[in-house]
Every structure is written in structure tokens, then in C-alpha cells.
Amino acid sequence: MPSRDLAVLAANQTVRDRRLKVRFPLDLSVHFRPLSGSPFSGAGRAVNVSSGGVLVVSQQDVWQHGIRVGAWIELKIEWPSLLEGKIPLQLFAVGRVVRYRRSDFAAAFERYQFRTVSSSRLPHARLG
């Protein structure tokens, strides 16, 4: 293989390996708010999630409300699995925005934990 082809192959491999965590395509309800003191809070869909971060799509113009690269953000993601088959879970995370566009953003988790949630607080309470 000519060296030029090897260089292109290496460059393509570098792009593919840029993410160290496997992202899972999901469609989960998420609420978010910047931790900058902005009164804005928003809602959207987490369209892919990994142990390292999340991609959120919103119908709101997130960039007008303090969602900027480097900004700290709090996320509450409705988790699809139930604890012990009956208790709703929420992934609570704090992270930094790593990129954004008008109505979506990606955030890298700084810390996260699963929390139990009263089914009456969920927008789509799941009954077993």
C-alpha cells in the first residue's frame, strides 16, 4: 500500500477513535439548565448517551440561554429501565457543553448518578 494511502487510512482511524466511550442511540426525555445563574431551563430528547456524555436535541434555541462551549450544565434524563422492575429512575448529571448548535448540544459528563423518581413526577408515568 502506498504511503499516501496509509496516511489517509490513519487519518480516518483517528477520526473514528476520537470518542473513547461507546455511544448508544436512545430517545429519552431530558430536562436541562445551565449552572451559570441563567433562569432558563429547557427540555428535549437525549438522542445518544455514553458513560462520557450525551447529545441533546431541543425544540428551543438553546444558544440564546447560556448554552455555550465550556458552560456547566445540569441534566435530568428519564431512564428507560425500572429499578426492581417497578421504580422509575432518572440519570442526574452535571457536565460541560463541548459543542452546540441552534437547537442541540453535546455535553461531557463531569459526574453522574442514578436517582429514583416518584412516578407522579414523571411526564409519562409508567405503570407496571
pLDDT digits (tens, 9 = 90+) for 26-85: 999 999 999 987 778 899 999 999 989 999 999 888 877 778 999 999 999 999 999 999
- Whether 12 is in a domain gets the answer no
Q: Which helix (H) or strand (E) holds 123?
A: none
Q: Does 2 have pLDDT greater than 80?
A: no
Residue 62's pLDDT is: 84
- Whether 111 is in a domain gets the answer yes
Cell numbers describing residue 76: 435530568
Query: Contact at 8 Å (CB) between 65 and 38?
Result: yes
Query: Contact at 8 Å (CB) between 75 and 93?
Result: yes
- Whether 8 is in a domain gets the answer no
Q: What is the mean pLDDT of the chain?
A: 81
- Whether 15 is in a domain gets the answer no
Residue 14's pLDDT is: 41
Answer whether 0.85 is exceeded by the pTM. no
CATH of the domain at 97: 2.40.10.220
Show the domain range for 115.
22-119
